Every structure is written in structure tokens, then in C-alpha cells.
Amino acid sequence: MTVRTTASRATFSAPATPATAPKAKANAVAPRVAAASTALTAPPAGLGKGDSGAKVKQLQQGLVKLGYLTQAQMNTGTGSFGPATEAAVKKFQGDHKVPTTGYYGEQTAAALKKALAKPTTTPPPTQPGKFTKPAVISAPSPNCDSRNGADIDTIVLHHTGSNNGAGDMAWMRNPDSKVSANYMLDRDGKIYQLVGDSKRAWHAGKSELHGVPTDVNARSIGIEIVNDGSGKTAFTDAQYKALTQLVGYLKQEYKVPANNILGHKDVAVPKGRKDDPAANFDWARLRKGIGG
């Protein structure tokens, strides 16, 4: 994506059209009694990819409790059975000797009911995170809409088309531009968040993923890196450091496959419509930093 500023009049792609529990009473004598009413239970069988509603949300809550789905993943697709929920069901099925179909059927429901009934005296085992979310500066843009339940499974990198971070950000926050990104990395490595992760930013335009037409905006995080895109202006060390931390965190948080960390030129349709990030962007440095 390229940004239009007062100094540079290149244009962005236009956005593609998208297809409590009740409080337990305090009891000083027997505090153990109240907890049972809030226990999670397995929903009825018969849920699969594309389904939505309260039963899917109940399934997701159970998978979060058992460590198969992150709260962040659930927040971007609450009540919607998308790719992340399907992958979590498959992992649960594999661990519990149930056919790994990704469909929540009778066998899976029985296994989940049994797993949720076990006492949870200790939290479910988790892998220690290598990356923590880096510091970000909030700079909200109105240019966004709903992901409509889509799971985040892709990260798309762009260059802004100028070296003027203030101008680039002003353009992405201008309602008339109809463009935005979730994050922007300035030349000094500062990270600005323009659109929350749970929202669909307008950065990819008409796109496909690995040759398959799809609403890339709905399933991706868009990151704009301030650079003129000439191929001669270096991306700064501060940008690489910040980008490694940000992409590493997002990859870890949303379980994004390494082959879904792409440039705008990799997803734009038709091929050749976009060339960002520029040819001198060091993909090897980024992939080494994030571990794949």
C-alpha cells in the first residue's frame, strides 16, 4: 500500500467489499460452596466451520479454559466457528484420541465434557511466550469496520510510499481517504495503533491468499512501515527491531502460520498491482527474528 500525503500523491488501494454469571454470595464459613455454579460445560454436539451463536461461544470458552484457544483469538471471532476454532478443535481431538476432523461431534463433545469436569487446581500448561506486546501509541482511525467473525490468520506488511510519518498517519486517519492499517511503524521505530486488532482495517484492497480470492482485510493485521518504497531508502534498524517485536507478538498471539506473513505484493490482485514492501526490505532478517 502507498500513502498519499501533501508531499506524495500516490494512492492506497480502496478497501475490498467484504463479502455474567450471577454473583455468588460471600460465605465466610464455607467459601468453597459458591464456585460450582460458574463451571463451564460442553455444548451439545453438532457444530462445525461456518456455524455461529451461543453454542459456538460456549465451545470456544471451553477451549480457552483448556488452553487450546487464546482469549485474543476468541475476542476476534466470538461465537463464530472459524479457522482458529476449527484448528483448536482438531488439536483437542488429537490430544484426546478422537478422529481429528475439526467437526464438534458426539465423540468430541463427550471428551470435552469429561475434560471440563476435571478439577482445575492448576492452570492448563502453556508455553512461555517469547514475545510480549510492544509499547504502542494510540492514534485511532475511523477507517475500519467489523471482521464479521473472521479469525485473524494473516499479517500483511506495506510501505507507506513516503518518509513522512506524520503525513502518512494523517492520511490514514482522514475519513475521506478510506484507507487505514492496524499499525504504522515510523522511521524512529515508534509503533502507532490506528485500528484495534478486533476491527477490519482497510489496507489490502482486492486481494487473494495463496491464489484463493478472499477478504484479506477481514482475516489479517495490516502493518504500514514508513518508507518511500523506492528500493533505495533503507528501512531503519529501529523499524526492524520494532517490527520483529510486533510481528513476533502477533504471530504468537493469533497463531499465524509463517507462510501467512506476507507483503502486500504477495496478496494484491492482479499480480503486479502492488510492490510493497520495497525490494530492499530484509525478509530474512525479520523471519530470523521471529523464528520462522
- Split at pLDDT 50, 70, 90, the class of 129 is low
Largest Cα–Cα separation, the chain: 72
- Split at pLDDT 50, 70, 90, the class of 247 is very high
pLDDT reading at 278 higher than 50: yes
- Which pLDDT value is given to residue 94? 86
CA angle 5, 8, 10 (to 5 degrees): 95
- Which pLDDT value is given to residue 26? 39
- Which pLDDT value is given to residue 128? 47
Positive/negative CA dihedral, 48, 53, 54, 60:
positive
At 9-60, the pLDDT tens digits run 333 454 544 444 344 333 443 434 333 346 789 999 999 988 988 998 999 8
- Which pLDDT value is given to residue 292? 76
- Which pLDDT value is given to residue 178? 97
The catalytic residues are 224
Domain map (residue ranges) of the chain: 40-117, 137-290
Contacts of residue 175, defined as CB under 8 A and 6 or more positions apart, other chains included, come to 142, 143
Closest among 223, 257, 263, 256 to 134, alpha carbons compared: 223
Q: CATH for 137-290, among 3.50.50.60, 3.40.80.10, 3.30.365.10, 1.20.120.80? A: 3.40.80.10
- Which pLDDT value is given to residue 29? 39
Round the average pLDDT of the chain to a whole number and report it. 85
118 against 232, higher pLDDT: 232
Exposed/middle/buried for 82, CB within 10 Å: 0-12, 13-18, 19+?
A: buried
Domain covering 40-117: architecture: Orthogonal Bundle (1.10)
Distance CA 237, CA 232 (A): 15
- In angstroms, the first-to-last Cα distance of the chain is 24
- Which pLDDT value is given to residue 121? 47
Closest among 121, 114, 118, 115 to 32, alpha carbons compared: 121
- Which pLDDT value is given to residue 170? 98
pLDDT reading at 78 higher than 50: yes
